[in-house]
Structure 1
Amino acid sequence: MWLERLFDALQEDRISYIEQLGEFWGQLCVTPAIASAWADRLLGITTRVLGPDGHGEFFTGTTACLSALYGAQRYAELSRLVDSARLNWWHYRRWGVDALVALGRPAEALRYAQASQETNAPPGVVSTACGPVPILWTP
């Protein structure tokens, strides 16, 4: 299967344009069912790497797992996983923002993004990420 070959390239090649495949893994899976299968495949090691007991390990499939969870529409699980992370890296927390928006909680997504800005998000990236967040104003 071509996803297997792409994942092998992601793991082995370490070329900058291939490293970015993980960001789009959920879309590359095409269907929520395929994305869910990939999320299940990658979830164990991703949980170990991201989780509160993580020891600074690195797994090139972490972002692919987060993207696959999003593509599988497993938003609550994605949000919990990102929230459990030992370190609050924007690169991972942005998936939490997307998950909260998908769950219909845009105000919470905005607060979550703003809290990320206070830690380690590059300047302007939170504003860019929150641009499409629909904020409902109530008097």
Structure 2
Amino acid sequence: ENRVWSAERELFPQLVAEGARLFATGTDAYWMDIGTPEKYVRANMDALSGTFPTDAAGSVGPDGVLAAEPSDIAEDARVSSACLGSGARVASGATVSGSVLLPSVSVAEGATVVNCALGEGTIVSAGARIANGAVGDGEIIE
């Protein structure tokens, strides 16, 4: 059956109703349910800003950019607070801010990407603008 399912709304109440014992523990560790594109981007931005310790912290550049190798950011592109997957490309005059670009995403000349999660192989065409959203793998934004 293909449907939305929630452990905290379905499984846990059922277990309690059946008399099962449930346990919990507190922690000061960072945790976020990243089940929406907005929260997925937020968690990545929190990692970039040092909200919680991460192995990638030493690789974050001065503008809050974490770019996997190989990736290509044009010299005059404006990229800040962003995670770029392997093979990502940001062309001349493009802007990427507050976003997560999965591997092989291409942002063409003069395009703008703000507060987005872009799936693997997505192409943002020259001059296109996308903000506050998520795009699946292999899509073309015009």
Shared fold (TM-score, shorter chain, > 0.5) = no
Q: Which structure is larger by alpha-carbon Rg, 1 or 2? A: 2
Higher strand share: 2
Bigger relative contact order, structure 1 or 2, given CA contacts below 8 A and separation 6+? 1
Q: Give the TM-score, by structure 2 length.
A: 0.25
Q: From the two aligned structures, give the one with the greater helix fraction.
A: 1
